[in-house]
Amino acid sequence: MSDKTVVLTGITTTGTPHLGNYVGAIRPSIEASLNTEVQSYYFLADYHALVKCHDPERVHQSSVENAATWLALGLDTDNAIFYRQSDIPEIMELNWILSCMTAKGLMNRSHAYKASVAENTESGEQDPDKGINMGLFTYPTLMAADILMFNAHKVPVGKDQTQHLEMTRVIAQRFNHHFGEYFIIPEIVLGEESAILPGLDGRKMSKSYNNTIPLFLPEKKFRKLIMKIKTNSLEPGVPKDPEGCTLFAIYNSLATREEVAVLRNCYAEGIAWGEMKQFLFEYLNNIFSGPRENYNALLENPTEIETILLRGAERARDYASPFMQRLRVATGIRPLV
Ligand code: TRP
């Protein structure tokens, strides 16, 4: 294996990719995928999806949509390794070994698990673990396996994932301490605050708030959704504050500094909300209409997507398979003679 820096991140396949995903994760990852100085790994975390989603159609459809989106936007799959978590059986094997090196108490402290328990307790529920499956409880060990399987140096994630990364580091250290220095301790690369977009209602754009703007809606529907973005009720001609304005925040996340300065002026001069929305629609449509065509073409030809993913899995296993063999031996799982 070369000594390139390894960058790895996962995409949970429960939803349809939206503008918030684009700005926060997809765009920076695709840019990084072009850099031949690093070895990037991007994967569809479909086993993670099962924790939250028990609708097989949704999980499958989301895998297709996420893969098509990343490819349509220009992910360099010759350079980056793009695969499906479930195509790498070694990850699940490592998950078990890591589980046996993970303190249950560490998992008890997981924010995601604790939030679900708190919800139960607050609603007066007798059983604090109601509706909580083991997948949620051990979510962090599977994530650790995703990362440690490829000895990633850097893991770019949103703020909500930092605790998972800290746990990965703890688990890796414990394994190394006991069995020898097998794992690189991964570094957390936190996305910029400015890369967090507000959604239709002004809260953080998230599938759990149902306020997302999907990337590749047909043009008419896309325009309709932009028109639905919540604003205040200031009349045309009245100066408007760009701070806290969702339309402005979206434009700001994509446009150049000069373009943003021009728009700031328009706000000061009292641009009408209708006009601003039309402007934003045209701006976004201009960026996404080409990729939208690629996307639709890919959806019509899923075999092409499948081929790319399988090739990615093969490349990923070229690393994972011999490494897993070493890890098994390290723990005493090996032939008798
Ligand atoms: N849990 C991450 C999320 O919801 C997705 C993910 C799964 C991931 N495995 C990973 C991210 C490994 C980084 C590294 O966003």
**What are the φ and ψ backbone dihedral angles of 41, each rounded to 5 degrees?**
-120, 125
Q: Which residues of the chain are in CATH 1.10.240.10 domains?
A: 216-296
pLDDT in tens, 263-302: 999 999 999 999 999 999 999 999 999 999 999 999 999 9
pLDDT in tens, 197-224: 999 999 999 998 999 999 999 999 999 9
The residue type at 101:
M
Closest ligand 1 atom to 139 CA:
1
The angle that helices 56-72 and 302-331 make with each other, rounded to 10 degrees, is 100
DSSP per position, 264-284: HHHHHTT--HHHHHHHHHHHH
Measuring from atom 13 of ligand 1, which residue has the nearest CA?
A: 9
Closest ligand 1 atom to 45 CA:
7
**The token pair that represents 95 in the structure block:** 């998950």
Quick one: pLDDT at residue 196? 87
Q: Which residues of the chain are in CATH 3.40.50.620 domains?
A: 5-196+302-331
**Which helix or strand (DSSP H or E) is residue 291 part of?**
helix 273-300
| Architecture of domain 5-196+302-331 in this structure | 3-Layer(aba) Sandwich (3.40)
Closest ligand 1 atom to 25 CA:
15
To the nearest 10°, report the CA torsion of 183, 141, 153, 330: 10
CATH number of 216-296: 1.10.240.10
Give the integer Cα–Cα distance in Å for 167 and 175.
12
Residues with CB under 6 A from ligand 1: 8-10, 12, 45, 48, 143, 146-147, 155, 157, 161
The rounded Å distance from CA 11 to ligand 1 centre is: 6
The rounded Å distance from CA 9 to ligand 1 centre is: 6
Quick one: pLDDT at residue 107? 97
Quick one: pLDDT at residue 1? 55
* Low-confidence residues in the chain, pLDDT < 50: none
Give the integer Cα–Cα distance in Å for 179 and 239.
65
